Amino acid sequence: MVQPSKALHKVALERLKERGVSLEEIAELVYDLQQPYIADVTHEICLENVRSVIKKREVQNAILTGIELDVLCEQGKLSSPLQEIIEEDEGLYGIDEILALSIVNVYGSIGFTNYGYLDKTKPKLISKLDNHEDKEHTHTFLDDIVGAIAAAAASRLAHDNPGISDIMQ
């Protein structure tokens, strides 16, 4: 029998892939965040940290919950007014960010700074997901989840490089 925690990890990875998110693209966000601070950081190291973040149960729970809500919304299956709020990615809703913070939380305070930065600047994959022109897809939760995974992976990396944490705060 498959261990429940192993099953959860596998499903979380599958869901991200189904929603068009590659771990390499998340790793690229991590690379861009950390490269100014850690000169010898590589894409492989970033990818490794992304993989480690997704092994955490809290992170898997957030991925599954957020993606489920995005998908149900795409299918028009939520009740009003939640259906319209998530569909329109209403600015004052804020629960997408709160859910993502449960990911950032896992690695402490540096994660919050990185998450805020990604949420504000929306680089690369995040802006692709945050594209409101695309009426077919809802990524209200996914863009925040991706930003949070990248922020958490960047924090994990910083913790592995003593001295960097101080610079980044």
Task: Name which of 28 and 143 has its Cβ closer to Mg ion.
Answer: 143
Six token digits for residue 151: 């922020």
Residues 6+ apart with CB under 8 A from 50: 23, 26, 27, 30, 149, 150, 153
Nearest residue to 119 via CA among 150, 164, 85, 153: 150
With contacts defined by CB under 5 A, name the span among 15-23, 46-54, 139-147, 160-168 that binds Mg ion: 139-147
Nearest residue to Mg ion by CB is: 96
Distance CA 167, CA 169 (A): 6
For residue 96, state whether it binds Mg ion (rule: CB under 5 A): yes
SS3 of 94, please?
coil
With contacts defined by CB under 5 A, name the span among 8-16, 95-103, 105-113, 120-128 that binds Mg ion: 95-103
Q: Which of 38, 45, 144, 145 binds Mg ion (CB under 5 A)?
A: 144
With contacts defined by CB under 5 A, name the span among 1-9, 42-50, 117-125, 134-142 that binds Mg ion: 134-142
Residues of this chain that bind Mg ion (CB under 5 A): 96, 140, 143-144
